Amino acid sequence: GQQLNQSPQSMFIQEGEDVSMNCTSSSIFNTWLWYKQDPGEGPVLLIALYKAGELTSNGRLTAQFGITRKDSFLNISASIPSDVGIYFCAGQNSGGSNYKLTFGKGTLLTVNP
Amino acid sequence: DTEVTQTPKHLVMGMTNKKSLKCEQHMGHRAMYWYKQKAKKPPELMFVYSYEKLSINESVPSRFSPECPNSSLLNLHLHALQPEDSALYLCASSQDRTANNYYGYTFGSGTRLTVV
């Protein structure tokens, strides 16, 4: 089946620094999604990308849908302590399995004040 | 209302118990999902309901039994679980993928299940 490689697995940064994480896939997706999950909570959708090459921002977050449709990145600028959490990328396709999300393994972000 | 509500938030059950997890959404989403998540791992899909019909069962053991009474409700009935079934169980919903205003899945906060 499809697999997503998400990197890095974890990051330790100082408050105010920028962060970048990415996902690559062995096959194409029609949609890329980025979620953040706090401990004991469900994943919260940060950004959804629908078109190859699309670059979308949500406040300090910026994400891009790769031209090949096999990759995506998420950047966080000027990190703050509440950015701490696990970030997951997820890919989705249309068609018979259009309801399935394929998740990356997550990036654990720690921000030191 | 833009939320998926799950109850209970925490559940401890014995291996011979029968319990149910509940999920509710009022966003008019016609697809609803159950996911299982172990600590520091991504969610794993269990079941998908589309228009109140079971459309995907990811080879889940029969001790987990889903039910979709109507378009707003999703239940997961649990019976004779094992300790390794302890996990965070997440419910999610989404619009039809072809909808113009599709925004991906909305997840609930989950039920933290402990099987003793």
Inform me whether the C-beta atom of residue B40 falls under 8 Å from chain A C-beta atoms.
Answer: yes
Using CA atoms, how far apart are residues B109 and B4, in angstroms rounded to an integer?
8
Nearest in space to A77 (alpha carbons), one of A13, A8, A4: A13
The residues near B40 (Cβ < 8 Å, ≥ 6 apart) are A86, A106, A108
Which among B48, B104, B109 has the least Cβ separation from residue A42? B109
Between A45, A50, A104, which is nearest B105 by CB?
A45
pLDDT category at A2 given cuts 50, 70, 90 is low
Q: Are B92 and A42 within 8 A, CB to CB?
A: yes
CB B34 within 8 A of CB B66: yes
State whether A92 and B109 contact (CB < 8 Å): no
Cβ of A101 and B105 within 8 Å?
A: yes
User: Residue A111 gets which letter from DSSP?
Assistant: E
Residue B74 forms beta bridges with which residues? B23
Chain A stretch 34-63, residues whose beta carbon is closer than 8 A to a beta carbon of chain B:
35, 40-45, 48, 50
Q: CB of B56 within 8 Å of any CB in chain A? A: yes
pLDDT confidence bin for A1, thresholds 50/70/90: low
| Per-chain mean pLDDT for chain A | 92
Q: What gap in Å lies between CA B57 and CA B45, rounded to an integer?
A: 9
Which residue bears the tokens 């249309």? Answer: A94
- Among B112, B108, B116, B115, CA closest to B32: B108
Nearest-CB residue to B107 (from A31, A43, A108): A43
The minimum CA-CA distance between A98 and chain B, rounded to whole Å, is: 7
| Residues in chain A closer than 8 A to B27 (CB atoms) | none
Q: Residue B99: its pLDDT value, please?
A: 53
Tell whether B55 is within 8 A of chain A (Cβ): yes
pLDDT greater than 70 at residue A37: yes
Determine the residue type at A66: G
Between chains, do B48 and A100 touch, taking CB under 8 Å as contact? yes
pLDDT digits (tens, 9 = 90+) for A63-90: 999 999 999 999 999 999 999 999 999 9
From first to last of the 116 residues of chain B, give the pLDDT tens digit.
Answer: 679 999 999 999 999 999 999 999 998 888 899 999 999 899 999 999 988 999 989 999 999 999 999 999 999 999 999 999 999 999 999 886 555 555 678 999 999 999 99
Average pLDDT on A81-108 reads 86
Are β-strands A61-65 and A71-76 bridged in parallel, bridged antiparallel, or unpaired?
antiparallel
* DSSP string across B21-37: EEEEE-S---EEEEEEE
